[in-house]
Amino acid sequence: MGMKEFIYKPPSDPLEIIFQDDHLLIVDKPSGLLSVPGKAIEHADCLETRLKSQFPDALSVHRLDMDTSGIMVFACNKVAQRHLGLQFEKRIIEKTYMARVDGVVANDSGEINLPLIGDWPNRPLQMVDHERGKPAMTQWRVLVREQNATRIELSPKTGRSHQLRVHMKAIGHTILGDAFYGTAVQVAAADRLQLHAQCLALRHPIGGAWHRFAASVPF
């Protein structure tokens, strides 16, 4: 798979803080910005680095793909970081994404159970592999059918790398603007990857009360 050379041009918009207290920082990550620093020196600019300039105690807990926008949680201390890390590990945290996919999805809802593994010759791409892949499950629900596209709500029940992108491609409805998994036409159909982390529900590290946060969909 010939992928064009990657040139990192992150957006410079000011950070949008959705919520903050002594333990949590909830941020809306823009598309095109890395969640955490890349290996190369020119990939040092990222959400975590920008956040630390305002909130020096911010600690990363999870990440979103560079091209995916939306809601991310950072911890403000080690106790909160451990607590949130366990919630991700035990799949307590609920994540809801919004996507626009290629084609008109026929059914109203469904579930995708397809195991995923790294596609080593084509890193960082992932692929479905029934023998060696790790279990991956996504629930989906159609919101709006357009002429040649569908707006869909995605709820990953596992947190595999590129899970939503590979699962949607596997059922014949690649996410529009997906430069990794889309055809030239699917990539050109949108000015960015049409995938947005819209909602995150979690238990507060202190006291355990449920909190639900949302970031409005930018497409």
- Pick the catalytic residue: 13, 21, 65, 108? 65
Nearest-angstrom CA–CA distance, 96 and 70: 10
Residue 200 located in a structural domain: yes
The CATH number assigned to the domain holding 179 equals 3.30.2350.10
**How many CB atoms lie under 10 A from the CB of residue 27?**
25
Residue 209 located in a structural domain: yes
Phi, psi dihedrals of residue 154, rounded to the nearest 5°: -120, 130
Residue 96 located in a structural domain: yes
Place of tokens 């026929």: 106
Domain count, the chain: 1
Nearest-angstrom CA–CA distance, 64 and 55: 20
Is 65 among the catalytic positions? yes
Q: What is the pLDDT of residues 111-144, one digit of tens each?
A: 999 999 999 999 899 999 999 999 999 999 999 9
Is residue 2 pLDDT above 60, yes or no?
A: no
Residue 219 located in a structural domain: no
Burial 186-214 (b: 16+ CB within 10 A, else e): bbebbebbbbbbbbbebbebeeeeeeebb
Question: Residue 140, class by beta-carbon neighbours within 10 Å (0-12 exposed, 13-18 middle, 19+ buried)?
Answer: buried
- Which helix (H) or strand (E) is 142 found in, with range? strand 137-145
Largest CA distance in the chain: 50
Residue 141 located in a structural domain: yes
Residue 10 located in a structural domain: no
pLDDT given for residue 7 in this prediction = 85
pLDDT given for residue 39 in this prediction = 87
Q: What is the pLDDT of residues 137-194, one digit of tens each?
A: 999 999 999 999 999 999 999 999 999 999 999 999 999 999 999 999 999 999 999 9
Q: What is the pLDDT of residues 33-87, one digit of tens each?
A: 999 998 888 899 999 999 999 999 999 999 999 999 999 999 999 999 999 999 9
Phi, psi dihedrals of residue 47, rounded to the nearest 5°: -60, -45
**Average pLDDT score over the chain:** 95
The domain of 183 spans 16-214
Nearest-angstrom CA–CA distance, 13 and 19: 18
Residue 8 located in a structural domain: no
Paired strand residues for 140: 110, 154
**Dihedral in degrees, nearest 10, Cα atoms 48, 137, 99, 4:** 70
Is residue 6 pLDDT above 80, yes or no?
A: no
Residue 7 located in a structural domain: no
